[in-house]
Structure 1
Amino acid sequence: MSQPVQLVILITTLPGRGGEQIAAFERLAPLVRAEAGCLQYDLHQVSGEPERFVLIERWASKAALAAHDVTPHMIEADAASPAFRAGPAEVVELVAAPVA
Protein backbone atom coordinates (compact mmCIF):
# COMPACT_ATOMS: atom_id res chain seq x y z
CA MET A 1 0.00 0.00 0.00
CA SER A 2 1.26 3.46 -0.88
CA GLN A 3 2.11 5.84 1.93
CA PRO A 4 0.84 9.44 2.05
CA VAL A 5 3.34 12.17 1.17
CA GLN A 6 3.64 15.36 3.21
CA LEU A 7 5.52 18.38 1.91
CA VAL A 8 6.47 21.70 3.43
CA ILE A 9 7.33 24.27 0.79
CA LEU A 10 9.19 27.41 1.84
CA ILE A 11 8.52 30.42 -0.38
CA THR A 12 10.03 33.91 -0.33
CA THR A 13 8.71 36.64 -2.60
CA LEU A 14 10.44 39.74 -3.83
CA PRO A 15 10.02 42.76 -1.51
CA GLY A 16 6.48 44.10 -1.64
CA ARG A 17 5.22 41.18 -3.78
CA GLY A 18 3.70 38.92 -1.10
CA GLY A 19 0.20 39.88 -2.23
CA GLU A 20 0.92 38.36 -5.63
CA GLN A 21 1.79 35.05 -3.98
CA ILE A 22 -1.48 35.13 -2.05
CA ALA A 23 -3.48 35.95 -5.20
CA ALA A 24 -1.77 33.18 -7.18
CA PHE A 25 -2.56 30.69 -4.41
CA GLU A 26 -6.20 31.79 -4.26
CA ARG A 27 -6.54 31.07 -7.99
CA LEU A 28 -4.69 27.76 -7.82
CA ALA A 29 -5.99 26.23 -4.57
CA PRO A 30 -9.47 25.17 -5.77
CA LEU A 31 -7.94 23.40 -8.78
CA VAL A 32 -5.33 21.59 -6.70
CA ARG A 33 -7.74 20.64 -3.93
CA ALA A 34 -10.02 19.05 -6.56
CA GLU A 35 -7.22 16.77 -7.80
CA ALA A 36 -7.41 13.06 -7.04
CA GLY A 37 -5.23 12.27 -4.05
CA CYS A 38 -4.96 15.81 -2.66
CA LEU A 39 -5.45 15.61 1.11
CA GLN A 40 -4.26 19.11 2.06
CA TYR A 41 -3.12 22.24 0.25
CA ASP A 42 -2.79 25.27 2.56
CA LEU A 43 -0.70 28.44 2.38
CA HIS A 44 0.46 30.22 5.53
CA GLN A 45 2.21 33.57 5.78
CA VAL A 46 5.08 33.79 8.28
CA SER A 47 4.04 36.08 11.12
CA GLY A 48 5.56 39.54 10.77
CA GLU A 49 7.26 38.67 7.45
CA PRO A 50 4.98 39.60 4.54
CA GLU A 51 7.33 38.10 1.93
CA ARG A 52 7.69 34.65 3.53
CA PHE A 53 5.23 31.78 3.16
CA VAL A 54 4.91 28.11 4.03
CA LEU A 55 2.80 25.85 1.84
CA ILE A 56 1.66 22.57 3.43
CA GLU A 57 0.78 19.79 1.00
CA ARG A 58 -0.39 16.26 1.75
CA TRP A 59 -0.97 13.70 -0.98
CA ALA A 60 -2.42 10.20 -0.79
CA SER A 61 0.60 8.77 -2.63
CA LYS A 62 3.74 9.58 -4.58
CA ALA A 63 1.76 8.79 -7.74
CA ALA A 64 -0.85 11.42 -6.85
CA LEU A 65 1.91 13.97 -6.23
CA ALA A 66 3.60 13.09 -9.52
CA ALA A 67 0.31 13.54 -11.39
CA HIS A 68 -0.19 16.91 -9.66
CA ASP A 69 3.21 18.15 -10.78
CA VAL A 70 2.33 17.79 -14.47
CA THR A 71 -1.17 19.27 -14.46
CA PRO A 72 -1.64 22.25 -16.79
CA HIS A 73 -2.49 24.57 -13.88
CA MET A 74 0.75 23.66 -12.04
CA ILE A 75 2.87 24.06 -15.16
CA GLU A 76 1.32 27.50 -15.69
CA ALA A 77 1.76 28.47 -12.01
CA ASP A 78 5.40 27.37 -12.02
CA ALA A 79 6.05 29.44 -15.15
CA ALA A 80 4.44 32.55 -13.63
CA SER A 81 5.98 32.43 -10.14
CA PRO A 82 9.47 33.80 -10.99
CA ALA A 83 7.81 37.18 -11.66
CA PHE A 84 7.16 37.66 -7.92
CA ARG A 85 9.34 35.13 -6.10
CA ALA A 86 12.82 35.90 -4.82
CA GLY A 87 14.03 32.48 -5.96
CA PRO A 88 12.97 28.87 -6.25
CA ALA A 89 10.81 27.46 -3.48
CA GLU A 90 12.48 25.02 -1.09
CA VAL A 91 10.58 21.72 -0.99
CA VAL A 92 10.96 19.63 2.16
CA GLU A 93 9.45 16.14 2.25
CA LEU A 94 8.56 14.99 5.76
CA VAL A 95 8.72 11.47 7.15
CA ALA A 96 7.57 10.28 10.52
CA ALA A 97 10.37 10.31 13.09
CA PRO A 98 11.25 6.89 14.45
CA VAL A 99 9.90 6.30 17.93
CA ALA A 100 12.09 4.33 20.31
Structure 2
Amino acid sequence: MSTLTLNVRFTAKPGHETELRETLEDMVAPTLAEPGCLAYELYLHPSDPSRVVLLEEWVDEAALAAHFETPHLKECAAALAEILLEPLQVRRFNDVG
Protein backbone atom coordinates (compact mmCIF):
# COMPACT_ATOMS: atom_id res chain seq x y z
CA MET A 1 0.00 0.00 0.00
CA SER A 2 1.35 3.45 -0.86
CA THR A 3 1.66 6.35 1.54
CA LEU A 4 -0.45 9.47 1.26
CA THR A 5 1.22 12.88 1.04
CA LEU A 6 -0.60 16.19 1.38
CA ASN A 7 0.57 19.61 0.27
CA VAL A 8 -1.56 22.17 2.11
CA ARG A 9 -1.28 25.89 1.36
CA PHE A 10 -2.40 28.63 3.72
CA THR A 11 -2.63 32.41 3.24
CA ALA A 12 -3.14 34.60 6.29
CA LYS A 13 -5.25 37.73 6.42
CA PRO A 14 -3.13 40.89 6.63
CA GLY A 15 -1.88 41.29 10.18
CA HIS A 16 -2.41 37.60 11.04
CA GLU A 17 0.85 36.21 9.66
CA THR A 18 2.41 35.43 13.05
CA GLU A 19 -0.84 33.98 14.36
CA LEU A 20 -1.05 31.64 11.36
CA ARG A 21 2.51 30.44 11.81
CA GLU A 22 2.09 29.90 15.57
CA THR A 23 -1.26 28.11 15.14
CA LEU A 24 0.28 25.71 12.64
CA GLU A 25 3.45 25.23 14.71
CA ASP A 26 1.27 24.16 17.64
CA MET A 27 -0.01 21.30 15.48
CA VAL A 28 3.38 19.73 14.74
CA ALA A 29 4.17 17.84 17.97
CA PRO A 30 0.71 16.37 18.63
CA THR A 31 0.30 15.38 14.99
CA LEU A 32 3.70 13.69 14.78
CA ALA A 33 2.69 11.69 17.88
CA GLU A 34 -0.37 10.28 16.08
CA PRO A 35 -0.26 6.69 14.83
CA GLY A 36 0.30 6.66 11.09
CA CYS A 37 1.86 10.12 10.79
CA LEU A 38 5.20 9.86 8.99
CA ALA A 39 5.92 13.58 8.47
CA TYR A 40 4.39 16.96 9.30
CA GLU A 41 6.58 19.85 8.17
CA LEU A 42 5.88 23.57 7.83
CA TYR A 43 7.52 25.90 5.33
CA LEU A 44 7.26 29.68 5.28
CA HIS A 45 7.39 31.48 1.93
CA PRO A 46 10.80 33.23 1.67
CA SER A 47 9.41 36.66 0.78
CA ASP A 48 5.75 36.55 1.83
CA PRO A 49 5.16 35.72 5.53
CA SER A 50 1.42 35.44 4.92
CA ARG A 51 1.97 32.19 2.98
CA VAL A 52 2.74 28.86 4.63
CA VAL A 53 2.94 25.38 3.14
CA LEU A 54 2.43 22.22 5.14
CA LEU A 55 3.74 18.88 3.87
CA GLU A 56 2.31 15.87 5.64
CA GLU A 57 2.74 12.18 5.03
CA TRP A 58 0.50 9.40 6.31
CA VAL A 59 0.74 5.64 6.14
CA ASP A 60 -2.75 5.42 4.66
CA GLU A 61 -6.15 7.06 4.28
CA ALA A 62 -7.36 5.59 7.60
CA ALA A 63 -4.56 7.35 9.52
CA LEU A 64 -5.43 10.65 7.85
CA ALA A 65 -9.13 10.16 8.61
CA ALA A 66 -8.27 9.56 12.28
CA HIS A 67 -6.21 12.78 12.25
CA PHE A 68 -9.28 14.73 11.11
CA GLU A 69 -11.09 13.59 14.26
CA THR A 70 -8.45 14.71 16.77
CA PRO A 71 -9.21 17.54 19.19
CA HIS A 72 -6.05 19.44 18.22
CA LEU A 73 -7.04 19.48 14.54
CA LYS A 74 -10.58 20.60 15.32
CA GLU A 75 -9.22 23.40 17.52
CA CYS A 76 -6.80 24.44 14.78
CA ALA A 77 -9.54 24.45 12.14
CA ALA A 78 -11.65 26.77 14.29
CA ALA A 79 -8.71 29.15 14.73
CA LEU A 80 -7.89 29.06 11.01
CA ALA A 81 -11.44 30.12 10.16
CA GLU A 82 -10.58 33.51 11.70
CA ILE A 83 -7.01 33.76 10.37
CA LEU A 84 -7.15 32.71 6.71
CA LEU A 85 -7.62 35.15 3.86
CA GLU A 86 -8.92 32.39 1.58
CA PRO A 87 -9.79 28.71 1.96
CA LEU A 88 -6.76 26.48 2.39
CA GLN A 89 -5.70 24.52 -0.69
CA VAL A 90 -5.07 20.80 -0.35
CA ARG A 91 -3.32 18.63 -2.91
CA ARG A 92 -3.06 14.88 -2.36
CA PHE A 93 -0.36 12.60 -3.71
CA ASN A 94 0.51 8.92 -3.45
CA ASP A 95 4.06 7.67 -3.61
CA VAL A 96 5.31 6.23 -6.88
CA GLY A 97 6.80 3.07 -5.44
Structure 1 length-normalised TM:
0.89
SS at 2:63 equivalent:
helix
Q: Distance in 1 between matches of 2:61 and 2:10?
A: 22
Q: Corresponding residue for 1:91?
A: 90
Q: Distance in 1 between matches of 2:94 and 2:23?
A: 28
- Does the 8 Å CA contact 2:30/2:72 hold for their aligned counterparts? yes
Query: Which residues of structure 2 form unaligned runs of 5+?
Result: none
- Does the 8 Å CA contact 2:5/2:57 hold for their aligned counterparts? yes
Greater Cα radius of gyration, structure 1 or 2: 1
Q: Corresponding residue for 1:32?
A: 31
- Cα offset, 1:16, TM superposition: 2.2
Q: Corresponding residue for 2:4?
A: 5
Q: Corresponding residue for 2:77?
A: 78
Q: Corresponding residue for 1:58?
A: 57
SS at 1:9 equivalent:
strand
- Cα offset, 1:96, TM superposition: 4.6
Q: Distance in 2 between matches of 1:23 and 1:44?
A: 12
The number of residues matched between the two structures is 97
Structure 2 length-normalised TM:
0.92
